[in-house]
Amino acid sequence: MGVSRTEIFSEQQNRLADLAKAFAHPARVAILQMLMAKKACVCGDLVGELGLAQATVSQHLKELKRIGIIQGEINPPRVCYCINPPVWEEAKQAFGALLDTRVEVSCC
Amino acid sequence: MGVSRTEIFSEQQNRLADLAKAFAHPARVAILQMLMAKKACVCGDLVGELGLAQATVSQHLKELKRIGIIQGEINPPRVCYCINPPVWEEAKQAFGALLDTRVEVSCC
DNA sequence: GTCAATGATCGCAATATTGCGATATAAACT
DNA sequence: AGTTTATATCGCAATATTGCGATCATTGAC
């Protein structure tokens, strides 16, 4: 009945799916790209760059924090967000392991 | 009001988000892993391996086909699904380009 | 033609996501 | 204490996703 059946999948599969969610919305891709490029790291600046309301950006940041791929450093009255290197590395490994597998042409 | 604002993001960002959606559900991760491992490629076999109903699996396959990362070859009365190498490569490039960017430790 | 097998699609219910205005919170400053 | 600034959270509405039973469509076998 519409409930996500996470229990029937492996920890690894669920984690990879969660990491993928960090990239599965263009706003979050844009946020991560900005953080990587150090174009902006303060919430307010991100709001300015993206065309979205502050509440919306804050929610995307919250989701990225939940996944663990970014961390927020409180620097009153601002919060400076940045990539969390260990989780970024985890994502690189996880996607790399799957994507670098050789794809064979023939099927069946 | 809840509509995804794809128009304010770049083509590239929207495409990467779409590619990420292929991996953003554990069932789709499992399907892609099975296709890669050639453990199963026929819809019915996938249904057997996953613990999900046939209709549900068919829908995930449809979504993966929409993204383009898999293709279905009709082999009556079965359909054999397999990875679509060009799009797989596209995903590898897209994720690689973003994830391989050097993460600097300091922030602000 | 009918039948069985396989997969796609429909229709529905439950839940999740996206977005935003309004409000709450927290800290620095007066 | 009151004000300002920056961010988080609440509450709501709209839409998307997930899941499944039932049904439809296609093909091969009879």
Closest CA to A26 of B25, B91, B7, B47: B7
**A106 in a domain, yes or no?**
no
Nearest Cα to Cα of residue A92 among B64, B107, B101: B101
- In this complex, the residue with its CA at the shortest distance from the C1' of nucleotide C5 is B77
Asked, for residue A2, whether it belongs to a domain, the answer is no
B25 touches strand C (CB under 7 A): no
Structure tokens at A80: 């400076």
Distance A94 CA to C16 C1' (A): 24
Considering the domain boundaries, does residue A3 fall inside one? no
Tell me how many domains chain B contains: 1
Q: How far apart are CA B107 and CA A73, in angstroms?
A: 9
Return phi, psi of residue A46, to 5°.
Answer: -65, -40
Asked whether residue A78's C-beta has any atom of DNA/RNA strand D within 7 A, the reply is yes
Tell me what pLDDT residue B106 has.
59
Tens digit of pLDDT for each residue in B68-104?
999 999 887 899 999 999 999 999 999 999 999 877 7
Could you tell me the CATH number of the domain that includes residue A71? 1.10.10.10
CB-based burial, B83-97: b 16+ in 10 Å, e otherwise: bbeebbebbbebbee
The separation, in Å, between residue B102 CA and nucleotide D4 C1' comes to 38
Give pLDDT tens digits for A20-54: 999 999 999 999 999 998 877 888 899 999 999 99
What share of chain B in percent tops pLDDT 90? 74
Distances (CA, A) of A49 to A53, B18, B77, B107: 11, 21, 52, 18
Is B20 within 8 Å of A24 when comparing Cβ atoms? Answer: yes
User: What residue numbers bound the domain in which B65 lies?
Assistant: 11-96
